[in-house]
Chain A
């Protein structure tokens, strides 16, 4: 296996170099997506299936779609621009950082970290998957803030919509050929994706998965349906979409405040922890799905209908 690991590492580095200094923006994005897939293999090798799922779905998948969409919207001439000349002063500085970091990475002997402590309290957290336990209970404050970071990105895109106010459906207008592959796929996919998304959310309590991975699958299906022209993209004009956007963090924060009555901020009593976490995760999954779909589609671009 050591040979496989070394080969994987070498491949990851090669693909990363191609993505950063290679020729052409479109190719760079393609290399970046390959990079994400390879990286998720590395996470499997490091016994971190939750991270592998998140990396392949969010790191490679959604970020890839986001970047590909951007390449499409930018001028065509830039997509095959020549490789950039090497900036030597920056290269030297980066090499120093590389030497320091590699030195540190070799010097550190991996310890157990907080793994024994997490294991010791796991039964009191309400979930069996330690990663979900950390995300939804031990470090729930981080996760609540993280869901706010996602919303911030959507609000940040809001003034970038044409006319400065986001009231149209998100993204460029899409018209798939009726009866074409994409349109048929777009009709078939939603029920399947809904199933997978809900499964991931449910499984997260004891197995790899959770609100973020589940939400990503739903978002991906939603984006595909919009691109296939099966459904209209969400917009800020509809109160329902705005409520879906804030439902997750709002429910999360409300539980946080309710905790004050039960003994502390963001505290879930042991007997209720499982129910509380599942409720929060369901609301979060919904919000994450809407947020991610809006982020990937981007603000409305009226002049860009294809």
Chain B
């Protein structure tokens, strides 16, 4: 419990310390990262051994108080967050023109993510989402004048999403008198729950940047400084996805209707296609990687139709549920690695235009390798974490007789191969690049992240087993 409380409170103190002593910002961030890593190790052992860890702030417990619970899913996401944030901090410390606000905002983003991963209270999740939104939008705005319009568009989308979600929460509380998910799961469904869930889901889809609510994401992620983009693309949309998963699998497992599952399947498939095709047409690396996020988020939506499909016992649902989480984690690590590579290449070559990156693989081989390994994960090739994710989702697609979804997964992989081929081709071009040197230590940072994503596939059994801690019943019985 102390480890979990430490993970929750450290980035909060970190943010406050950065404001109080701006001169020491990078050091504060590094200290928070190191201490969080330690607390995380303790928490992982505790959860692996004794199951989910709970905190009831104030000791009240739900429904009066707020319940926080670190299950396998939450701890896995917290681990990905520690890895990605630590890597982004390492790069930011060497990036010129990174000011005090950036460091405070990274800490605040981190606090908000941890808050959301462990929360079981619908309103507490709203506060977490708003903290995340403001910190993320402000991170985009640290990108300078050209980032102002993307930041504003992001803010308006995100605020609309939050309020749609909150409107749903208001109806849930009015009808049930509780905000706690476990209490909600035990309460019989009310006539107004359909409207409430529709509003909440719509709001969360906007925040997760699911097609057709994705327009804000590519410009915002491309305009932010690269260390910020890594956090924004790898982590921020995952938080609202976690809420979406918890809502449908934990809070109202019996409420999913055919039309909802079909809608999410269609949106997911369109996102994969739309994001992939647009990624093919970009000339800047950061844009390609950002549009790729739109496509990869599409896969995440497929978990809902895959875990559904009618009937009582659905043995494939557990595979779909775990597959989606595998995908969210592997994508997060790989995508962060790519944005950090982009940041290093901008330092070295002065731009992220594909033309300017030609031949950089020769000059910065470690980063090129990092990008390659991350690309393997995004394409879903074995033995990466992305492959395990695809394998699990594919298996459940065939088991549940939803072959169309398997085709979407395959087509998405091909599109990824297409849009990632172009930067690779530029990197490995046989020309001698004109570049500034970058330290090897810095080059190793994205490589470590990419290798982590790869290792998720190599050690998929252990990761899979860990994720099952505290898995909701609906992940077995289906939606």
Contacts and interface: CB of A to CB of B under 8 A. Distances in A.
Interface of A: 97, 100-101, 103-104, 107-108, 110-114, 117-118, 121, 137-142, 144-146, 148-149, 151-153, 155-156, 158-160, 164-165, 236, 239, 242-243, 245-246, 249-250, 253, 256-257, 259-260, 263-268
A108 B101 contact: no
Interface string B96-117: 0001111011001001100100
At the interface, is chain B mostly helix, strand, loop or mixed? helix
B100 to A, nearest CB: 7
A209 to B, nearest CB: 21
B35 interface: no
Q: Which of B58, B105, B130 has the most chain A CB atoms inside 10 A of its CB? A: B58
A304 B111 CA distance: 36
B131 interface: yes
Given A151-B16, A152-B135, A242-B19, 15 more contacts: A108-B190, A114-B177, A138-B64, A141-B66, A141-B124, A145-B115, A148-B131, A153-B134, A164-B144, A246-B16, A256-B9, A259-B58, A260-B1, A264-B58, A266-B58
Contacts of B123: 139, 142
B64 A267 contact: no
A148 B115 CA distance: 12
B57 interface: yes
B12 interface: yes
A156 B23 CA distance: 18
B137 A156 contact: yes
Size bin of chain B's contact surface: 35 or more
A253 B11 CA distance: 11
B101 A156 contact: yes
Given A118-B64, A243-B20, A165 B58 contact: no
Given A159-B101, A160-B141, A264 B134 contact: no
B138 interface: yes
Interface in B117-139: 123-124, 127-128, 130-131, 134-135, 137-138
A9 to B, nearest CB: 18
A148 B171 contact: no
Nearest to B202: A97
A139 B66 contact: yes
25 contacts: A101-B167, A108-B175, A111-B177, A118-B64, A121-B64, A138-B60, A142-B66, A142-B123, A142-B124, A144-B12, A145-B124, A148-B12, A151-B15, A152-B108, A155-B104, A156-B137, A156-B141, A158-B101, A159-B102, A164-B99, A253-B9, A253-B16, A260-B5, A265-B5, A268-B58
B12 A253 contact: yes
A236 to B, nearest CB: 8
Contact of A246 (B19, B56, B190): B19
Given A104-B195, A165-B99, A263-B59, A152 B105 contact: yes
Interface string B198-224: 110000000000000000000000000
B186 to A, nearest CB: 16
A145 B112 CA distance: 8
Interface SS of chain A: helix
Given A141-B57, A155-B138, A253-B9, A112 B177 contact: yes
A158 B58 contact: no
Contact of B127 (A101, A149, A243, A260): A149
Contact of B138 (A144, A152, A245): A152
A253 B13 contact: yes
Contact of A158 (B63, B100, B196): B100
Contacts of B135: 152, 156
Interface in B41-60: 55-60
B178 interface: yes
A246 B28 CA distance: 15
B173 interface: yes
A152 B131 contact: yes
A262 to B, nearest CB: 9
Contact of A140 (B12, B58, B167): B58
Interface of B: 1-2, 5, 8-9, 12-13, 15-16, 19-20, 22, 55-60, 63-66, 68, 99-102, 104-105, 108, 111-112, 115, 123-124, 127-128, 130-131, 134-135, 137-138, 141-142, 144, 167, 171, 173-175, 177-178, 190-192, 195-196, 198-199
A155 B101 contact: yes
A249 to B, nearest CB: 6
B284 to A, nearest CB: 23
A114 B64 contact: yes
Contacts of A265: 1, 5, 8, 55, 57
A145 B178 CA distance: 20
Nearest to A248: B16
A214 to B, nearest CB: 21
A203 B192 CA distance: 38
Given A142-B124, A152-B108, A257 B9 contact: yes
Contacts of B12: 144, 148, 249, 253
Contacts of A266: 57-58
A268 B12 CA distance: 20
B171 A155 contact: no
Contacts of A250: 13, 16, 20
Contacts of A159: 99, 101-102, 138, 141-142
A238 B383 CA distance: 54
B99 A151 contact: no
A158 B196 CA distance: 37
